[in-house]
Amino acid sequence: MSFVVTAPPVLASAASDLGGIASMISEANAMAAVRTTALAPAAADEVSAAIAALFSSYARDYQTLSVQVTAFHVQFAQTLTNAGQLYAVVDVGNGVLLKTEQQVLGVI
């Protein structure tokens, strides 16, 4: 038999921390997007223009991927919040059941 031990306040705290992390990552991505998605060529030749276009393309791909990762991050934090709330509800329910059981055993 396996047991799961958890503390709902810890789950809530972790979800809150994840929200802060997501905010910082989004801010960093926004600042990086401005500087990386439209690079100017280092010189006026074809190679410099091609390299700048290539790096800008990689930056746009990163930004696209970052949006998907952010969506997953938000979903994960929400799942963690929901799990903490459900554990808290179940914990209260189990406490009521144990109290009822003790009352019944006290009568017997």
Q: What is the pLDDT of residues 53-73, one digit of tens each?
A: 999 999 999 999 999 999 999
Residue ranges per structural domain of the chain = 8-107
**pTM score, whole prediction:** 0.70
Would you say 55 and 41 are in contact if contact means Cβ atoms under 8 Å apart?
Answer: no
Would you say 66 and 72 are in contact if contact means Cβ atoms under 8 Å apart?
Answer: no
Would you say 43 and 63 are in contact if contact means Cβ atoms under 8 Å apart?
Answer: no
CATH 1.10.287.850 fits 8-107, yes or no: yes
Q: Which pLDDT does position 92 carry in this prediction?
A: 83
Q: Which pLDDT does position 6 carry in this prediction?
A: 82
Question: What stretches in the chain show pLDDT beneath 70?
Answer: 1
User: In sequence order, what are the residues at sequence separation of 6 or more whose Cβ sits closer than 8 angstroms to the Cβ of residue 32?
Assistant: 59
Tokens, residue 33? 């997007």
Question: How many Cβ atoms sit within 10 Å of the Cβ of residue 77?
Answer: 19
